[in-house]
Structure 1
Amino acid sequence: METVTSTAPPPTRSAPGTSTALLVLAIVVVALNLRGPIVAISPVLDAIRADLGIGAGTAGLLTSLPVLCFALATPLASLLLARAGLERGVLIALGALLAGTVLRSADGSGPDGLWAVVAGTLVIGAAITVGNVAVPVVVGRDVPARRAGIVLGGYTAALNVGSMIMLSFTVPLTAGLGWRAALAAWGAVAVLAAGIWWLGTRGNARRAAEAAAVDEGDAGGPVWWRRPIVWMLTIAFGGQAFSYYGVTAWLPLLLHDRLGMDPAAAGVSASVFQVAAVAGAFGVPVLLRRGAGPLPALLAVCAAWAALPLGLLLAPHLWLVWCALGGVAQGGGFTVIFSIVVRAARGPAESRRMSALVQGGGYLVAATGPAVVGAVHEATGTWAVPLLVVLGAIAVLTAAGAAAARASVHRHEHGSAVPRPV
């Protein structure tokens, strides 16, 4: 455990011309763009394959490349936010997201069309990476401490809502417009988010300048990346993200194989898993406010997560219960981990750097999730061992997350001058 004392003054939490409600709305609308454009391509992959003449493996890259971007582009995202500031950095990212969406839908067939789709996908992944890093930092800096947990919950819920909206409406749009125009249409959500973000953060120049001055004083205590809690959180998020992407990729096929479900019925499981995340995103902040620190909420999330692989192993016919519990856990896990990041950071600069490292490391592990789970299934010919692999990742989340939660409580008990209770 560590004891850290910071002498930096508390960050300014408000600025003239900006209301917390409008800022929260901006955060939520930005979040609609941070997963949806990636998953929107999934239901039209067959149409894309036929149009471009590509195989299933190449088509699969269009959904896995953005996750790799989350890991590999995180240092660049952090650098952009340091140079441009949080407000302008997010606006730049939304502009890049719009450009990537348009490029991905550029007309063309064969190699030329594939080049545009891949390049657009990479731009989309890099743009979303900036938002991934920036939003938790904005919440920690600008949202009143008593509301930070619920705002993070709303942000997490909006990630899933954006995914559901774009998954649900891309196919109907494709039927009338074609897949290119259907995917390009979601650029309108990025434009809407940019306008609301500008309104929600205008007038923040003074706060940003004050925060920058505070950042210069963030050197008290250990260098940020040497703090054990940073690496605990990185490992914990790796376990969370590996479990999420591993389950998301293979859950429908698992249910088809074990229960004989037809593909349509098995696909419902993915919807349950995503929809239930909204309950976890809003439920965890309640636990955080009522509990003595983040540890009870973290343990509740891990117990719900563990119910998914254990339940599918022991009582697969109750798949609906296990998928719902797993969905609650995956939404709550993201919220509780980044609540601890907000709580543990000693200033906006450290919050940005911690957020970048936690997400960069976690998503690097997450990118291996579908491949590892699939390879284990292929090697063993059963789903028992892959489920145990997911359970092992959840055990890593539990151990590292619990250690980080205890460390954050220990820090507050020893008197930080910049407390951020969630």
Structure 2
Amino acid sequence: MHAPRPASAALLITAIVLFALNLRGPIVAVTPVLDVVGADLRASAATVALLVSLPVLCFGVLSPPASWLLARAGLRRGVLIGLGVLLAGTVLRSADGLVAALAGTLLIGGAITVGNVAVPVVIGRDLPERANGVLAMYTSSLNVGSMITLSFTAPIASVVDWRLALLTWCVLVLVSAAVWWWAMRNRPDLPPAPATDTGGDEWWRRPLVWALSVAFAGQAFAYYGITGWLPLILRDLAGLGAEASGVASSPFQIAAIAGAFGVPLLLRRGSAAVAVGCVVAAWVVLVAGLLFAPGGWAVWCAVGGVAQGGGLTLIFALVVRGARDETENRRMSATVQGVGYTIAAAGPTVLGAVHDRTAGWTVPLLVALGSIAVLAMAGTAAALGVRAPAR
């Protein structure tokens, strides 16, 4: 397949970046107003946390249906269908009642799962010569989208209400859909080519596969659990106002870019085990800082952001290193994400339930620290189980 012309490539990259803004932002948009939403819907903290955790569960269990949709509808139409469902889910989430909010959240999760599956396929098919750079931009845009919605949802809600504040982000969906259609309009709307499975079935018995799955579960549980409650943690522990706490939690998202680009440098200069240690240490700094010196929240959130961005990059780097061929790479990636995201979906709900029981944030943060300990042990085992690439 011929590489697209520069102008066409630039438009497609723009479409991917705009699309990525919608692949995490709608989930975390609700976190600065979770307490208001809970009071309005008369729901407990554990229940309202489902507005954050249900989409993550979708990531774990709906990847096969998302792949099926893309295989039959093609990449152009499949993504547009996903954006349409995302728009519908965002509107439904802001409708009246807890049931509508949860149903809309499920639609949001399913729609974003389509994007998770589609974007790497588009990059590999249409931008192969630019794949590394575009993947870095894509990953960064996920966090930028989260930062935007975290920063502005609470201020908008203070002027209108939480329902209209969440509906505001429909603008990003509509812009993304328009640019995606324009960028893809002259490209063949072919489904992704089916993979040819030539390897055996023994891959799933490898300890490395399950060490990485457990490590990713620990990483993702901490990320989604803390992301879901960070604005309220900053409000209660650091004394920030409701509007300021949403903005203040944005360094946790934006600093992930430094982690995403920093971990590959660590892997080139040192062992994978050292990289695991650095990521774990940064996670511990976040938790310890919030518990013992919440006044330094800006530093702790930035360090935690480096941890969460670096941890995600690290896990997938170890998958690539550990896979023995392309087929095993794909299978390992699917297994690690499926297991990790399914477990991570419980993070916001578990931390919310513990907060309800203890009326504080000390024990919930210790629970998050426990998941980081799981990342440390399983991640180190995985790092020691893979060989460094030849120099």
TM range (shorter): 0.7 to 0.9
Contact 1:136 1:342 in 2 (8 A): no
The alpha-carbon distance between structure 1 residues 174 and 202, as it changes in their structure 2 partners (threshold 3 A), is same
Contact 2:146 2:250 in 1 (8 A): no
Aligned twin of 2:176: 193
Aligned twin of 2:338: 360
User: Once structures 1 and 2 are overlaid, which stretch shifts more, 370-379 or 128-137?
Assistant: 370-379
CA offset at residue 361 of structure 1?
1.6
Q: Distance in 2 between matches of 1:274 and 1:374?
A: 20
The alpha-carbon distance between structure 1 residues 17 and 105, as it changes in their structure 2 partners (threshold 3 A), is farther
2:370 to 367, 392, 395: 392
The alpha-carbon distance between structure 1 residues 147 and 61, as it changes in their structure 2 partners (threshold 3 A), is closer
Aligned twin of 1:274: 253
Matched, 1:239 2:222: no
Q: Which amino acid aligns with 2:108?
A: I
CA offset at residue 165 of structure 1?
1.8
Contact 2:32 2:231 in 1 (8 A): no
Identical columns (%): 59
Aligned twin of 1:101: 90
Aligned twin of 2:137: 154
Matched, 1:124 2:108: yes
CA offset at residue 324 of structure 1?
1.8
Q: Distance in 2 between matches of 1:249 and 1:120?
A: 17
Q: Which amino acid aligns with 1:129?
A: T
Aligned twin of 2:117: 133
Q: Distance in 1 between matches of 2:82 and 2:321?
A: 26
Contact 1:17 1:202 in 2 (8 A): no
Aligned twin of 1:32: 21
Aligned twin of 2:167: 184
Contact 1:308 1:323 in 2 (8 A): yes
Contact 1:24 1:151 in 2 (8 A): yes
Aligned twin of 1:8: none
Q: Distance in 2 between matches of 1:49 and 1:173?
A: 18
Q: Which amino acid aligns with 2:216?
A: F
Q: Which amino acid aligns with 1:132?
A: N
CA offset at residue 389 of structure 1?
3.4
The alpha-carbon distance between structure 1 residues 283 and 139, as it changes in their structure 2 partners (threshold 3 A), is farther
Q: Distance in 2 between matches of 1:307 and 1:179?
A: 32
3-state DSSP class of the match of 2:282?
A: helix
Aligned twin of 1:3: none
Q: TM-score, normalized by length of structure 1? A: 0.74
Aligned twin of 1:230: 209
Q: TM-score, normalized by length of structure 2? A: 0.78
Q: Distance in 1 between matches of 2:129 and 2:277?
A: 22
The alpha-carbon distance between structure 1 residues 245 and 225, as it changes in their structure 2 partners (threshold 3 A), is same
CA offset at residue 128 of structure 1?
0.9
Matched, 1:55 2:43: yes
CA offset at residue 235 of structure 1?
1.6
Contact 1:287 1:297 in 2 (8 A): yes
